[in-house]
Chain A
Amino acid sequence: MIRKIIGTLIVVLVINFFLPRLMPGDPFDFLSVEEGNVTVTLTEDQIEFYRAYYGMDKPLGEQFVDYVRRAITGDFGNSIYYNRPVRQMIIERITWTFALVVISLFVSCIIGTAFGMISAYYTGTKKFLDGMLIRIMTILSEVPDFMLGLLMLFIFSAKLKWFPLSGGATAFAEYDNVLEWFIDYGTHAALPCLVLILSSLGDFFLLGRQSMIAVLREPYVETAKAKGLSKRRVMINHVLVNAFSPIIARVFMRLGMMIGGAVLVENVFAYPGVGRLMRESVSLRDYVMIQGVFFYVAILVLFFNILADLIYKRTNKRGNHENL
């Protein structure tokens, strides 16, 4: 476990250092050209100055040592394009993504598990309902999230005008009270949230269903039924509680995955999350920012994977249904 963590960290560090440096294009060339203009605005001296400022004139080995030192403290210095501290910008943007992902995972976990419970309950008896649910959920989990997002953007934002087209909040808006603030942020986040909910719904449904079917075969469920407990009581107090550990572990695993994976949805809705920052900095050749984003997101993913592992072990004391 510990070896895996250290190995991943080293690989992340190495990839993170070399890939941006091997990328075609030069950030300072990019900076010195203004949009729609062919003249160069930075002089040779200025470029030299920037190169020295970011430590890119030093030999590669020295740069690497420097970089590892900065990575340990988490402070990557100033962004090349935005002229602001990378750490500050990433933390700002990650908050947006994090809020989006946490809300949608929470909702999707609840809805998915509820449907999973219904489906597991009717597995043998109402084949039609079970089959229909499985079909719908599988299709939902297969359709890529950004396509769902594009469709919704055109239907709900452009045609019906229920939701704003893009962004995370109205620019330069001033709010009189909390409700107004909430409505503005809520309507902006609604569609991206909905897309993320729908795209992870199928996963939770299938996992919950499978896990609950396994629990339903256990003898203690039979006992509970024999005691004359109501169906709802059996399903919630006995089946759901015992089937929940893989689901909660999956929530944390997906949390890490989706922070990086929300790139597309963020781009569709121009939501100011960390994925959009990554995409922007790639096209701006902002090495420092790319490194920062990749580093922080990779660390978060690793962290949540470990957390998922620990939670699964902690909640699943009996160690049954391991294949899930």
Chain B
Amino acid sequence: MKIYRLYLLLIIVLFLTYTIFGGNVHRVVTNDSLAAPSLEHILGTDDLGMDIFAQLCHGGGYSILLGGLSALFAVVLGTMVGVSSGYFGGALDRVLMAICDIITGMPQMILLILFGAFLGASYFSMVLVLALLSWTQIARMVRSRVIFIKNQNYMTYSNLFGTSFMTILLKHFYPALRELLSLSFIKIMSRSIVMEASLAYLGLGDPTSKSWGMMLNRAMAFPGIYFTPFWKWWVLSPLVALMGLILSLMILSKEFEVVK
């Protein structure tokens, strides 16, 4: 399984480097539009003659970076809320948990569409919205874990010694939460990637971007996509790539669960 993790890491790094340093190959308009896969264009071209393989490579890094960033924000926010809610308790706990309840009680997809439309779907706002919609689960898990640790005997001793909050946080809470957080990180990352792709597929994503969802949206908007052979490379390739990425993340998260 170690090899699998290395392999996934390699793919992620490749995707990210391509997206960040790869330039604009995916935007180059060539003369042969809607070409079938050939040696020149491995996965063919779309209606504007842009190479689909280049778009696929670019979109991969886009999705991974977006998912990773929003998961990072969600984990940080969720941990902060969970620890303060569980450790300090009282009115703060009630307020924070009420906010959690309210966010989980709302229709997520509709809210996402609303926010996506309102914030203009730029890259950073997308990351923020996705993080805002997914931190509640972590906060609740962290809170219950923190309350459990707080009531242990060693914590009473630790308090008697006058340990500072920072030390408790780093020495007692962090080791106990580390696995839980890395597991949630992967899960939220995969969920964010799906949500971004969904939003882009609906045509509410960043229109200047070339994410996998956006590719799907463009392909499905092409008139007669159902009746021509183009869908075999134009629709199928982002679809398969997305499924592959999500299933890989799923396997990774299962592995973490087993280790835990």
Contacting residues, chain B, for A298 (C-beta < 8 A): 106-107, 110
CB of A301 within 8 A of CB of B107, answer yes
* B202 is an interface residue with CB less than 8 A from chain A: yes
Number of interface residues of B (CB under 8 A): 38
Question: Which of A18-26, A33-41, A244-252 interfaces with chain B?
Answer: A18-26
CB of A147 within 8 A of CB of B243, answer yes
Q: Interface majority SS on B: helix, strand, loop or mixed? A: helix
> B170-197: which residues lie under 8 A (CB-CB) from chain A?
190, 194, 197
Q: How far is the CA of A283 from the CA of B207 in the complex (A)?
A: 13
Contacting residues, chain B, for A290 (C-beta < 8 A): 114
The interface centre, meaning the residue of A3, A15, A144, A154 with most chain B CB atoms within 10 A of its CB, is: A144
* B87 is an interface residue with CB less than 8 A from chain A: no
CB of B107 within 8 A of CB of A257, answer yes
* B10 is an interface residue with CB less than 8 A from chain A: no
Instruction: From the candidates B102, B117, B194, B250, name the one contacting A4 in the complex (CB within 8 A).
Output: B102
CB of A294 within 8 A of CB of B110, answer yes
Given contacts A8-B106, A19-B118, A257-B107, contact A147 B239 (CB under 8 A): yes
* B242 is an interface residue with CB less than 8 A from chain A: yes
CB of A260 within 8 A of CB of B101, answer no
Q: How far is the CA of A223 from the CA of B190 in the complex (A)?
A: 45
Contacting residues, chain A, for B254 (C-beta < 8 A): 138
Nearest chain A residue, comparing its CB with the CB of B242: A147
The interface centre, meaning the residue of A11, A20, A147 with most chain B CB atoms within 10 A of its CB, is: A147
Q: How far is the CA of A138 from the CA of B247 in the complex (A)?
A: 10
* A278 is an interface residue with CB less than 8 A from chain B: yes
Q: How far is the CA of A225 from the CA of B201 in the complex (A)?
A: 53
Q: How far is the CA of A282 from the CA of B204 in the complex (A)?
A: 9
* A151 is an interface residue with CB less than 8 A from chain B: yes
Contacting residues, chain B, for A3 (C-beta < 8 A): 98
Nearest chain A residue, comparing its CB with the CB of B97: A4
CB of A282 within 8 A of CB of B113, answer yes
Instruction: From the candidates B109, B201, B204, B216, name the one contacting A260 in the complex (CB within 8 A).
Output: B109
Instruction: From the candidates A7, A143, A151, A154, name the one contacting B98 in the complex (CB within 8 A).
Output: A7
CB of A157 within 8 A of CB of B107, answer no
Contacting residues, chain A, for B223 (C-beta < 8 A): none
Contacting residues, chain B, for A302 (C-beta < 8 A): 105
* A133 is an interface residue with CB less than 8 A from chain B: no
Contacting residues, chain A, for B231 (C-beta < 8 A): 154, 158
> B94-122: which residues lie under 8 A (CB-CB) from chain A?
98, 101-102, 105-111, 113-115, 117-118, 120
* A190 is an interface residue with CB less than 8 A from chain B: no
Q: How far is the CA of A259 from the CA of B190 in the complex (A)?
A: 22
CB of A150 within 8 A of CB of B239, answer yes
Q: How far is the CA of A261 from the CA of B113 in the complex (A)?
A: 11
Contacting residues, chain B, for A263 (C-beta < 8 A): 109-110, 113, 202
* A139 is an interface residue with CB less than 8 A from chain B: yes
Contacting residues, chain A, for B243 (C-beta < 8 A): 143, 147
* B141 is an interface residue with CB less than 8 A from chain A: no
* B136 is an interface residue with CB less than 8 A from chain A: no
Contact with B along A29-52 (1 / 0, CB 8 A): 000000000000000000000000
- Could you list 22 examples of A-B contacts with CB < 8 Å? A8-B101, A19-B115, A23-B118, A142-B190, A142-B246, A142-B250, A143-B246, A143-B247, A147-B242, A150-B216, A150-B235, A150-B239, A154-B231, A157-B226, A158-B226, A261-B109, A263-B110, A263-B113, A264-B109, A279-B202, A294-B114, A301-B107
Taking A4-B102, A143-B246, A263-B202 as known contacts, 9 extra A-B pairs with beta carbons closer than 8 A to each other, sorted by chain A number, are A4-B101, A142-B247, A146-B201, A150-B235, A154-B231, A158-B227, A260-B107, A260-B109, A298-B107
Closest 4 CB pairs of A and B: A260-B107, A158-B226, A260-B110, A282-B117
